Amino acid sequence: MLPPPSPRNGAPGITGGPMSDPRRELTASGRGRPSRHPRRGRRVMRPVVAGLVAGLMTLTALGTGHAAVAPPEPELPPPGQTFEHYPPMKEVYADYFSFGIFGRGEMNGLIHNYASYTPGNEMKPESTQRDKGVFTFDAAEAAFAEHAARNPDLAFYGHTLAWHSQTPTWMWDAPPARFDQPGTFDRAVALENLNTHIETVLGHFGERLVAIDVVNEAVGTANPADWRASLAKGEGWYQALGAEWVELAFLKAAEVVDANGWDVKLTYNDFGLDSPAKARVVYEMVKDINARHAGVRPDGKPLIEVIGMQGHYGLATDVADVEENIRLFATLGNVEVNVTEMDIALPPGELTPENENNQGMKYAELFRIYRDYAAGPANTTGNPKVVTAVKLAGVRDVVTGWKGGEFAMPYDYDGNAKLALLGILYPDEFLATHEYIDTTGGQEPAPVPGVHVFDTSAGDPWSGANIVLGDDASAWPWSTTDDGEVAFRPEPGATYRVTVNYTAKGTTAIRVRWVRDNTNGGYTSADGALVNAHPYAANQVATQLPAYFNSGMVNMGSYDLVSEITMDGSQPADGLIGNIGVRGGGGGNAFSINRITVERVSPAGDEVLVTWPGAVAPPATPPAAPTDVRATAGDGAATVSWTPPAEDGGSPVTATTVTASPGGATCTTDATSCEVTGLTNGRAYTFTVVATNAAGDSAPSAPSASVTPSALPGTPRAVALTVSGQAQCVDGRPRVTVHVRNAERVPVVVAATTPWWTVAGTVLWPGASFEHTWTAPGTSVAAGHVNVTGVKVAGWQGALTTYQAGHAGAVCG
């Protein structure tokens, strides 16, 4: 819960403020102790002035009404502070579910916020048994020891026993492993390897773990009608053991856990479970396996006890699907749900305020769902109570590595809280005070047949490219296309040069791979065995595919990655040949592809076959809005200046128009300033500026600060004052300040009135100034003004003029 708002003194009444020189502060009746003239020291409060002030107070009282006070909005702490300024996430959700971290993170923030730790890489098969029969637990033990030393109460989870990736290929292939082709799989050897690995690794760590990912990411292409067929992948355990490899792994894990009497939850973990189709496949698989092996375990435990939903999300994630899939898993009855690797990636390159706001919205929406389906006692909803753990995939944003450059975590690079943290800690309050900001727009590149390019910066779910080589199954059996378009059709024996220019925005390693189709996956059967076998530097020419460009690149640099390959036509149908795919190394999406070319290389000369994007000049667009708009008030006018647009939209700016508000008076110029005339003295105005080019008008600029035109000193029946207003947040409450200067040659009685019926008044000598600050009711104040009325007597003739001291408002909650 948020702390209640602090009490403030803000009852309606007449208030005064500090004065910079000797002068009187008046009460509503006009009575008070007279001040002395600063030069002569004599009393100057005359009856006629006192009478005018009394009348003035009556006028302002009659002309001002009580403003309705809106109910206070929830108060949120500001972002931008380090972790110790916020409650620990683990304590906020302690009565809902266990709050943990997956993988490493900045240690102080980790210990402050997380109640559990799951190693990212240290327990994977390639880390614990790279060579057959040689088990090494040093890396995992060191990680557990490092975290336990900082928090002895930290709970530990395990990841992972069986996976198709980061696993030595000898595990599922009969020795010796064959890397140029899939090889002939031996089921008995593969099953023995699987059982030995699970028994040894789980036997070593088991009693210390709350739960362990027994099987990770088994689902390939989801087919809700056939979960077994959905486990087919181009590599891994499925090739040797078929679809039953998942339950074989869980049977062995259950045997180890139950024989030792441990309470270690056995978990199936997978990504993409916000997809209804994939979630249905996992549901059917778990339901079928648990039903067929009911009674195998003691105390009625199911074989698969937990479904791990990897929460690798983005701004396009549909939270309604996430909730619906949690509800689906809950119908299994005795299976828990863990959110195992959560992050929300943003478009790389620059963290914009709009994307940071939208990320906070997405975190808030998801954590409200997790809370409302939590298994802990704090969940008082009528929803199924199945979520027992939520684990974020880090602490701070990182420049490189997993989600590098994608601003995916609740703290920024420097450890300062983003809006994402507030969305996690206070989901209801955040959603009540924020809304999504539309960031759509931009120019689509010209399409090129057979080339599909994706970019998270443009809102796509992943970054990369597919280049479709052919649609003839007899010649290129792994190459498929869903739209009938082909980039080019290779000829056996010909050599081709593929050049990809890309910009690293966090991802500094790129793989050029063989893929079957246009999806982000579906690699050909032998691609996985070779995916890291041929590393190259950025300035080298790869002569093998898959090629792994993993050195010589830095963040925000742009590079040409070149591969030259010969299609000799001898590769088997289940071998390497397919479409060409460009993917971020390690699954990173923080990069943009700028250009792709494919050339046929021959002694007679190189022939360009593919160029992406097409050479089409983008049409001009309206310019960006002008910025830094400034206004200076004059007599019935104001001079406005601005900074021209940073982007002209591909067409020069030909005119700029200034518009006053209220009233709509304008001026148009081809310069960077102009005078708006026809304004009313004493009235507050702001000004916006619109730039125009051949494609149209820009959006209006942000409005200028408010200014108030005034009469010239000595004008009969008018009082010349200079007024200004300001609203700002102080200690979480809005405060409005008015500044008044007497431009006359005679004393002026001044009263300032706020919309919520508070008045401050004084006598100003020529050239003197008056400033007063009010604390507004509530936690915000809308843009508006303070009425300032001046009264003077010159030549025994009274004059009264009312001004508006405008301000931009302030939102403090």
Q: Peptide bond preceding 182: is omega within 30 degrees of 0, i.e. cis?
A: no
Query: What's the mean pLDDT when you consider all of the chain?
Result: 85
User: C-alpha dihedral over 139, 143, 146, 149, to 10 degrees?
Assistant: -120
Across residues 235-257, what is the average pLDDT? 94
> Cβ-count burial of 100 within 10 angstroms (0-12 exposed, 13-18 middle, 19+ buried)?
buried
Strands 696-697 and 748-753: unpaired
Element (H, E) at 667: strand 666-669
Pick left, alpha or beta for residue 556 (phi over 0 → left; psi -120 to 50 → alpha; otherwise beta). left
Say if CB 236 and CB 528 are below 8 A apart. Answer: yes
Can you tell me the distance from the alpha carbon of 585 to that of 507, in angstroms, rounded to the nearest whole number?
A: 7
> What is the percentage of the chain residues whose pLDDT exceeds 90?
57
Can you tell me the distance from the alpha carbon of 221 to that of 227, in angstroms, rounded to the nearest whole number?
A: 10
- Residue 716's pLDDT band, with cuts at 50, 70 and 90, is confident
Can you tell me the distance from the alpha carbon of 301 to that of 75, in angstroms, rounded to the nearest whole number?
A: 45
User: Same fold for the domain at 83-433 and the one at 627-697?
Assistant: no
pLDDT of amino acid 18: 33
- Residue 566's pLDDT band, with cuts at 50, 70 and 90, is confident
Give the range with max mean pLDDT: 422-426, 435-439, 529-533, 682-686: 422-426
What are 738-769's pLDDT values in tens digits? 999 988 888 989 999 888 766 778 888 998 99
Residue with tokens 């420049």: 399
Say if CB 290 and CB 303 are below 8 A apart. Answer: yes
**Domain spans of the chain, in order of start:** 13-71+710-811, 83-433, 451-612, 627-697
Domain covering 83-433 in this structure, CATH number: 3.20.20.80
pLDDT of amino acid 87: 97
Q: Is the pLDDT of residue 506 over 90?
A: no
pLDDT greater at residue 810 or residue 375: 375
Cβ neighbours for 353, distance < 8 A, ≥ 6 positions apart: none
CA-based Rg of the chain, rounded to a whole angstrom?
Answer: 35
Across residues 501-528, what is the average pLDDT? 82
Architecture, CATH, for domain 627-697? Sandwich (2.60)
pLDDT of amino acid 30: 34
Across residues 197-216, what is the average pLDDT? 97
pLDDT greater at residue 44 or residue 282: 282
Can you give 575-587 as a three-state secondary structure string?
Answer: CCCCEEEEEEHHH
pLDDT of amino acid 39: 31
What are the beta bridge partners of residue 464?
454
Residues in the chain: 813
Across residues 481-495, what is the average pLDDT? 82
pLDDT of amino acid 576: 56
Cβ neighbours for 338, distance < 8 A, ≥ 6 positions apart: 211, 267, 306, 307, 308, 309, 387, 388, 389, 390, 391
pLDDT of amino acid 6: 33
Token pair for 810: 């302030």
Can you tell me the distance from the alpha carbon of 363 to that of 311, in angstroms, rounded to the nearest whole number?
A: 11
Extended beta strands in 378-475, E state: 387-392, 451-454, 464-467
In the chain, the largest separation of any two C-alpha atoms, in whole Å, equals 114
Return the closest-CA partner of residue 30 out of 66, 65, 60. Answer: 60
pLDDT of amino acid 569: 57
What are 48-100's pLDDT values in tens digits? 334 444 444 443 343 434 444 455 667 899 999 999 999 999 999 999 999 99
Can you tell me the distance from the alpha carbon of 322 to that of 552, in angstroms, rounded to the nearest whole number?
A: 39
